[in-house]
Amino acid sequence: MSVSLVLDSTADITPDDGRALGVEIVPIIVVVGEQRLRDGIDIERAALYRRMETVKDLPTTEPPTVRSFADAFKRQVDLGNDVVALTVSAALSGSYANALEAAEPFGAKVRVVDSKSASALLRLQAMEAIAVARAGGDADAVALAGDRKRLRGQAFFAIPDVTFLGRTGRLAKPLVALGGMMGVSLVLRVAEDGSIGLAGQSRSFERSQEITVDQVVRALGDEKRVKITVAHANAPASAATLETLLRSRLRVPAEIATAEVGTVIAVNIGPGAVGICAIAT
């Protein structure tokens, strides 16, 4: 018996990549005007950014339905597999709650785990879990492998416009006011409980990027084995600058990759945002 991993699409793993990795990706829904589009299937990043420039009302997102999760679980259980479902933070989405409800009929065959993360950090956690599943680990081992606390997962990001996080309610109103009306550039963090909070502030986006790097370096301390992703929302130049700065200040050897966030994350943080996600392995 093997263990199959099921993820929602906030892990920023495309359906094609998911198939290559042997995992199921359950798409978040992106709502643009009257359309409800499946992340990574019905809409791609370039199309999303074009729509964000032309559509009056900003896009929103909805978690996968209970039925969507249930269908994914059934496919894997019918193949004789146990399932570990790793979802975006319950503090940021209803994905975890819907996955829990979908798992009930399957009993011990399906385990649902709140990643307490999102985007590139969730992907880093998922890749650790996938490696253990491929090596033949049981459900307990796979779930533990992707545990954020065990991996000392860190996620810091700088955003040029708080409008996107503010309108969804994922950012506290005082922080929206600080970053909006007062024009302060914010550095945000996905906290240990999976919520988004303030990690720093400055009067310029450039300085916020420096603070982002400093926060990650401080959080990692003297960890000996580190994996890092520099993530961006349609901002490759800013990501390159951030990576150069990170490499100059990081005190330990690290595997560093750069990736563009998927449509769901882009909708919620807005174009131009950059961040750093890291785990210690």
DSSP secondary structure string for all residues of 158-221 = EES-THHHHHHT-S-HHHHHHHTTT-PEEEEEE-TTS-EEEEEEESSHHHHHHHHHHHHHHHHT
| pLDDT for residue 170 | 67
Q: Reduced to 3 states, what is the DSSP secondary structure of residue 55?
A: coil
Tens digit of pLDDT for each residue in 228-249? 999 999 999 999 999 999 999 9
Within-domain flag for 239: yes
Q: Are residues 91 and 184 in the same domain?
A: no
* Total tally of structural domains belonging to the chain: 2
- Integer Cα distance of 99 and 84 in angstroms: 11
Tens digit of pLDDT for each residue in 69-94? 999 999 999 999 999 999 999 999 99
The region of weakest confidence among 17-31, 105-119, 143-157, 160-174 is 160-174
Q: Is the pLDDT of residue 110 over 80?
A: yes
Q: Are residues 129 and 198 in the same domain?
A: no
Within-domain flag for 194: yes
Per-residue pLDDT band at 11 (split at 50, 70, 90): very high
Tens digit of pLDDT for each residue in 164-174? 777 766 666 76
- Integer Cα distance of 42 and 39 in angstroms: 6
Q: Is the pLDDT of residue 275 over 80?
A: yes
Q: Is the pLDDT of residue 138 over 90?
A: yes
Find tokens 């860190």 and name the residue.
154
Q: Are residues 106 and 185 in the same domain?
A: no
- Integer Cα distance of 159 and 209 in angstroms: 9
Look up the CATH number of the domain holding residue 8: 3.40.50.10170
Per-residue pLDDT band at 274 (split at 50, 70, 90): very high
Give the residue from 113, 148, 183 where a domain finishes.
148
Within-domain flag for 221: yes
| Average pLDDT rounded to a whole number, residues 202-219 | 92
Tens digit of pLDDT for each residue in 163-206? 777 776 666 676 766 666 556 788 999 999 999 888 988 888 89
Within-domain flag for 55: no
CB atoms within 10 A of CB 174: 9
- Integer Cα distance of 113 and 39 in angstroms: 21
Q: Are residues 110 and 178 in the same domain?
A: no
Q: Are residues 175 and 69 in the same domain?
A: no
Find tokens 């993530």 and name the residue.
231
Q: Is the pLDDT of residue 208 over 80?
A: yes
| Full-model pTM | 0.92
Residues 6 or more apart from 95 whose CB is under 8 A from it? Answer: 8, 10, 28, 63, 64, 87, 88
What's the mean pLDDT when you consider all of the chain?
Answer: 90
**Encoded tokens for 267:** 């909708």
Q: Is the pLDDT of residue 141 over 70?
A: yes
Per-residue pLDDT band at 159 (split at 50, 70, 90): confident
Q: 210: domain range? A: 152-280
| pLDDT for residue 181 | 56
Look up the CATH number of the domain holding residue 218: 3.30.1180.10
